[in-house]
Amino acid sequence: MSFARAAWRRAAGGFRPHGSSCSSRRRMRGQGGGALGEATQEKARAYWDRHHHTNEDPASWQANPRCREAINRRVSGHPEAWPIVAFKWYIGRRFQRGLSLGSGLGNLERAARSIDLCEAIEGVDASEVSIDIAKSRAKAEGVTGISYRVGNLNTLRLPRDHYDVVFFHASLHHVRSVERLLARVERALTPDGILYLEEWVGPSRTEWNDSRLAKMRALYAELPASWRAYPVLRAPIVADDPSEAIRSSAILPAVHRLFRVIAERPFGGHLVAVILSQLSDRVAEADRDALIERLLAMEEADLASDPSCSYHAVVVARRKSGLARVTGHALTIVVQLGVATRDLSATAWRVLVADRARAIARTHVGRALVRSLRSLGHR
């Protein structure tokens, strides 16, 4: 077994070169949420047009050297081996056509091309400003083989059997229609295609309560008052972005329904990411470093005993086949209908049912099922 494969099996962590659900202190608040209607989607797009720079926020926990070493080690087994490189080692292939959904400022696409992970990669993002910056950076760095287009991930349509790798990098937790998008991604992958997902998979924005925050609040309350930016620790939700963690807790269940997971690495952030983002600027560097080390050690113990406590994860997965694939899509439709009954009108609900039924009927196994039912009807 290669070093990289062994490292991925040993590790319990993940990868976030940019972006975070717990980024900077000034953007935190309590709760919020709701369905992403057109007006809300436009508000989210406008937010990222204005705040694209937060993807590279130096206050983010992943920008901290100690946290970055911990994340790298939890993924690759080595504190200096970034997860995108570990993924290349692990998967052991060069992809012909890649897709990056929620491409932001283009960090992942440039990295994928720079390490020759993909021959060509397409980036899709709702923010035109972010795409313009990503294009200009690729040009300035002399990186070729990247194309970009504007697209809404909640309604995005993709060609079937087209991409041999699809990336989500700190983007899927901004999508309301998690199941629909992942189902379309599954169909857009080639039969041997790979899904690479690195995400905030912690509580959705409406799921925060006193019980969830109790442990973090207790740790926060132990800190000197001068270290704390707020009297009481707040839920780690971006105030002005209505898409933030809109249905983040639905991500892992949806992936497992639709895909065959071959590697899953919860990489923490359930303590240090939340608390670090709410520290005062008055904390001395040495004190901050000591606190980070303490919180990282606590996270390591948590991950060893209960990996599900992690708020971030890396997942590598393949398409299922045969009956397992059909069952995955059928179960996904059931979940979508459940969400629809809560959020959609009766007319929209009927449209969704018809759309999902047509999608199943178009699959190879779905057509076989229709033929079988028809033959039964003729008997």
Interval 199-238: pLDDT, tens: 999 999 999 999 999 999 999 999 999 999 999 999 998 7
Residue 140 CA to residue 142 CA, distance in Å, equals: 6
Asked if pLDDT for residue 335 goes beyond 70, the answer is: yes
Residue 322: band (very low, low, confident or very high) from pLDDT cuts 50, 70, 90:
very high
Residue predicted with more confidence, 24 or 362: 362
Q: Is residue 366 situated within a structural domain?
A: no
Q: Is residue 331 situated within a structural domain?
A: no
Residue 180 CA to residue 258 CA, distance in Å, equals: 11
Chain centre distance of CA 83: 14
Tokens of 130: 């972010």
Q: Is residue 357 situated within a structural domain?
A: no
Residue predicted with more confidence, 183 or 243: 183
pLDDT of residue 9: 41
Mean pLDDT of 263-287: 95
Asked if pLDDT for residue 32 goes beyond 90, the answer is: no
Residue 112 CA to residue 120 CA, distance in Å, equals: 9
Amino acid making up residue 206: T
Look at residues 293, 297, 288, 268 and name the one whose alpha carbon lies nearest to residue 223. Answer: 288
Q: Is residue 367 situated within a structural domain?
A: no
8-24: pLDDT as tens digits:
343 333 333 444 455 44
Other CB atoms within 10 Å distance of the CB of residue 13:
26
Q: Are strands 95-101 and 163-169 parallel, antiparallel or unpaired?
A: parallel
Bridge partners of 261? 317
Asked if pLDDT for residue 150 goes beyond 50, the answer is: yes
pLDDT of residue 341: 76
**Average pLDDT value over all residues in the chain:** 84
Asked if pLDDT for residue 120 goes beyond 60, the answer is: yes
Asked if pLDDT for residue 47 goes beyond 80, the answer is: no
CATH code at position 144: 3.40.50.150
Mean pLDDT of 298-325: 96
Q: Are 152 and 312 in contact (CB under 8 A)?
A: no
pLDDT of residue 36: 52
Chain centre distance of CA 324: 24
Residue 364 CA to residue 73 CA, distance in Å, equals: 42
Per DSSP (E only), the strands in the chain are: 28-29, 95-101, 118-125, 146-150, 163-169, 189-200, 237-238, 259-268, 312-319
Q: Are 4 and 86 in contact (CB under 8 A)?
A: yes
State the residue for tokens 């991925």: 8
Q: Are 308 and 266 in contact (CB under 8 A)?
A: yes
Return the H-helix or E-strand segment holding 234.
none
Asked if pLDDT for residue 7 goes beyond 70, the answer is: no
Residue 135: band (very low, low, confident or very high) from pLDDT cuts 50, 70, 90:
very high
Instruction: Note down the domain range covering 200.
Output: 3-323
- Percent of the chain beyond pLDDT 70? 76
Q: Is residue 222 situated within a structural domain?
A: yes
CA angle 20, 329, 83 (to 5 degrees): 30
Residue 319 CA to residue 261 CA, distance in Å, equals: 9
Q: Are 295 and 271 in contact (CB under 8 A)?
A: yes
Q: Is residue 364 situated within a structural domain?
A: no
Q: Are strands 237-238 and 28-29 parallel, antiparallel or unpaired?
A: antiparallel
Residue 163 CA to residue 160 CA, distance in Å, equals: 8
Q: Are strands 189-200 and 163-169 parallel, antiparallel or unpaired?
A: parallel
State the residue for tokens 């009766």: 346
Other CB atoms within 10 Å distance of the CB of residue 146:
23
Residue 110: band (very low, low, confident or very high) from pLDDT cuts 50, 70, 90:
very high
172-192: pLDDT as tens digits:
999 999 999 999 999 999 999
Q: Are 172 and 232 in contact (CB under 8 A)?
A: no
Residue 67: band (very low, low, confident or very high) from pLDDT cuts 50, 70, 90:
very high
- pTM higher than the cut 0.75: yes
Number of domains in the chain: 1
Q: Is residue 232 situated within a structural domain?
A: yes
Asked if pLDDT for residue 81 goes beyond 90, the answer is: no
Distances (CA, A) of 307 to 97, 293, 299: 33, 19, 10
Q: Is residue 92 situated within a structural domain?
A: yes
Residue 377: band (very low, low, confident or very high) from pLDDT cuts 50, 70, 90:
low
Mean pLDDT of 31-42: 52
